[in-house]
Amino acid sequence: MVKVSVIIPNYNHERFLQQRIESILNQTYKDFEMILLDDCSTDSSIDILNQYKEHQQVSHIIVNEKNSGSTFKQWQKGVALAVGEYVWIAESDDYAAECFLETAVKNLENNRQVGLFFSDYHVINESGILITPKFTCRQSMSECFANQPVMDGRTFAEEYLFIDNWLVNASAVVFRKSFFLSAGTSYTAYKIAGDWRMWIDICLQADVIFCNKKIDFFRSHTNTVRYKTTSILTKEAILLYKYILTKTSNQHTKAFLKNRMCDLWFKNLEVDTQVRQNFKLMVSIFAADLFFFMRVGRRLIKNAYLSLKY
C-alpha cells in the first residue's frame, strides 16, 4: 500500500496541468499514487490527463460528465478513492518543488500527533513570475512558529483559523486521511470556504506542523474562483463564523466574530441584491442576541445622518 495519495482536481487548467502533473512525478519521494479528477472541462485538459493513463503511479483518471459545481465535492471523491495514509490535494494550477512531498512525509512521520503539515510558498502569476501576494496574513506565519514548528491544533485554530483562513493555499497542505474522514462532510456544502472549514475541523482533532521553507508555488490569477465570487465568499464566511461560535468559549473571540459578521453582512449588501434573504440569515444567527440589532440600528442611524449631511 502506498504511503501518500496525491489528488489533482482539475477544471479547465490545460495551460498549467502538465506542469502540475510533472512536478508531482518528479518528486524525490516516490511512494505515492496519483488520482486525476476532471470536473467536465471544456478545454483540452482531458487529452492531457489521458497521456498519463498508463503511468504506473496513476491509479485513477475520472472525468465527470457534468460539472459538480464545487471543487470540494471533487475533494470528497478523491479522498474516498485514496488508499494512502496521507493525502495531498494538489490544485491543478499550482506546482511544487521536488522536495515538497519528502519534506511533508518526514515531518508527519516524525510527529505522530500531527494531523496537518503545511509549508511556506512562493506566489506566482499566470506566467509563472514571482509576485507579491495580495493577501497578507501568511507573512507572519514564520513568526508564529518561530519557537517550534509544531503547534497544538486547537491553539492554532483559536488564534488564527477562527479569525481568518491562514491556509489559503491548499496545495501547500498534506494531512492524515483519518482526521479528514472523521471531520465529516460539512465542508462540501461550501463553494469557496470549504477548505477553511476542513482545516478548522482537522486542527480541532490534532496538532499542526509548519515548514518555513518556500517549497510550493501558488498561482494567483484572474481566473481564481475567489476573485469572481465576493458575494458568495462573504456569505460563506458569515456561516463559517456562526459555526466557529459553537467551537470557542473565548469571549474575546466571540465578540470579535460577531462584530466581523456584522461588518461582512453590511459589506454584502453592497454587492448582493438579495437583501431580504441576507437579513433573514443574520436574524437567524442572532435571534437571541441584542448585539446584532444594536449594531444594525447604529449603522442605519449613521447612514441616515450622512445622507442628510451630504
| Residue 264 reports pLDDT greater than 70 | yes
258 and 139 within one domain = no
Q: Which of 80-84, 114-118, 192-196, 297-301 has the lowest mean pLDDT?
A: 297-301
pLDDT of 307 higher than 50:
no
pLDDT in tens, 143-169: 889 888 999 999 999 999 999 999 999
Spell out the residues 6+ positions from residue 260 whose beta carbon is closer than 8 angstroms to its own.
241
Judgement on whether residues 271 and 295 belong to the same structural domain of the protein: yes
- pLDDT at 306 (0 to 100): 45
pLDDT at residue 232, as a whole number: 85
- The whole-number pLDDT of residue 293 equals 54
> What confidence tier does 79 reach under pLDDT thresholds 50, 70, 90?
very high
136 DSSP assignment? -
What pLDDT is attached to residue 231?
76
Tell which residue, 259, 261, 265, 255, has the closest CA to residue 241. 261
Task: Assign 291 a pLDDT band (cuts: 50, 70, 90).
Answer: low
Assess whether 89 and 64 both reside in one domain: yes
- Residue range 275-283: average pLDDT? 56
Q: What distances in angstroms separate CA 184 from CA 53, 146, 166, 200, one per listed residue?
A: 31, 32, 21, 12
**Contacts (Cβ under 8 Å, ≥6 apart) of 218:** 94, 121, 122, 123, 124, 168, 169, 171, 172
CA distance 243 to 246: 5
Confidence of residue 309 (pLDDT cuts 50, 70, 90): very low
Burial 14-46 (b: 16+ CB within 10 A, else e): bbbbebbbebbeebebeebbbbbbbbebeeebb
| Same domain, yes or no: 183 and 167 | yes
Q: Is 304 exposed, middle or buried (CB count within 10 Å of its CB: 0-12, 13-18, 19+)?
A: exposed
- Among the three residues 166, 195, 224, which one is the final residue of a domain in this structure? 224
23 and 104 within one domain: yes
Q: Does the pLDDT at position 110 exceed 50? A: yes
Phi, psi for 231 (deg, rounded to 5): -60, -45
pLDDT on residue 234: 86
Confidence of residue 136 (pLDDT cuts 50, 70, 90): low
Q: Does 270 lie in the same domain as 166?
A: no
The pLDDT value given to residue 39: 99
Q: Given a cut of 80, is residue 78 above it in pLDDT?
A: yes
pLDDT digits (tens, 9 = 90+) for 204-260: 999 999 999 999 999 997 655 544 567 788 889 999 999 999 999 999 999 999 889
Contact 280, 310 (CB under 8 A): no
117 and 265, same domain (yes or no): no
Q: Which amino acid is at 137?
A: C
Do residues 124 and 208 share a domain?
A: yes
- The domain boundary residue, chosen from 224, 241, 260: 224
Helix/strand number for the chain, H first, E second:
13, 9
Residue 134 pLDDT level (bands cut at 50, 70, 90) = low
Long-range contacts of 292-297 (CB under 8 A, 24+ apart): 292/258, 292/262, 295/259, 295/262, 296/262
Same domain, 143 and 190: yes
Which residue from 66, 82, 54 is spatially nearest to 11, judged by alpha carbons? Answer: 66
Which stretch of 34-38, 155-159, 283-287 has the lowest confidence by average pLDDT? 283-287
Q: Is the torsion defined by CA of 190, 196, 199, 202 positive or negative? A: negative
Q: Do 199 and 236 share a domain, yes or no?
A: no
The confidence score (pLDDT) of residue 305 equals 42
How many domains would you assign to the chain?
2
- Give the CATH number of the domain where residue 60 resides: 3.90.550.10
Model pLDDT, residue 141:
84
Full domain range(s) for residue 242: 229-309
- Three-state SS at 236: helix
Query: Quick one: 103 and 136 in the same domain?
Result: yes
Whole-number pLDDT of residue 284: 61
pTM: predicted TM-score of the whole model, two decimal places: 0.87
One domain for residues 304 and 203: no
Residue range 164-198, pLDDT digits in tens: 999 999 999 999 999 999 999 999 999 999 999 99
> Which of 203, 224, 245 is where one domain is finished?
224
Average pLDDT over residues 108-131: 97
Using the predicted structure, report yes or no on whether residue 270 has a pLDDT greater than 60: no
